């Protein structure tokens, strides 16, 4: 192998190594203090806390976690200001904080914060309000 090709191969290897070093993840330093995380929905989005179904039926049968269905009912914890129409006017939300709602089965984005589960979804994915 000619000397010029060896030098070129060494330069390429050196560039590859520096590129790998630049793309490696940087670990964030923690000072030990954590504030309370706040979710503020935008537009026509809602933050919902899913209502977990009971694990024991009235007859005493215990339902295992693997047999449980994904909950479709939840409590609205936060609501956005509403969506904008074509003219720029704000359309108010039909649901408000504190409402219990039924939502589509596979809709929204699931989020876990401090062992609590929330779902952020659009108002159009809400099927109805539940009066208790």
CATH code assigned at 80: 2.30.33.40
Judge whether 19 lies within some domain. no
> Is residue 55 a part of any domain in this protein?
yes
pLDDT digits over 50-79, tens only?
Answer: 987 767 767 777 777 666 677 789 999 999
User: Is 57 a domain residue?
Assistant: yes
Q: Which stretch of DSSP H or E encloses residue 66?
A: none
Asked, for residue 27, whether it belongs to a domain, the answer is no
Structural domain that includes position 59: 45-130
Is 80 exceeded by the pLDDT of residue 4? no
Asked whether residue 4 is assigned to any structural domain, the reply reads no
Domain count for the chain = 1
- Per-residue pLDDT at 128: 93
Does 119 have pLDDT greater than 90?
yes
The predicted model scores a pTM of 0.62
Are the CB atoms for 80 and 41 separated by under 8 Å? yes
């Amino acid at each position: 192998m000619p000397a010029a090709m060896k030098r070129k191969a060494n330069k390429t290897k050196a560039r590859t190594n520096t590129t790998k070093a630049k793309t490696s993840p940087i670990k964030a330093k923690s000072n030990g203090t954590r504030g309370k995380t706040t979710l503020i929905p935008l537009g026509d989005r809602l933050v919902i806390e899913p209502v977990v179904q009971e694990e024991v039926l009235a007859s005493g049968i215990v339902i295992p976690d693997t047999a449980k269905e994904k909950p479709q009912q939840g409590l609205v914890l936060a609501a956005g200001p509403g969506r904008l129409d074509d003219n720029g006017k704000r359309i108010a939300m039909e649901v408000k904080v504190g409402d219990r709602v039924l939502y589509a089965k596979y809709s929204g984005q699931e989020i876990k914060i401090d062992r609590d589960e929330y779902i952020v979804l659009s108002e159009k994915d809400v099927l109805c309000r539940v009066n208790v």
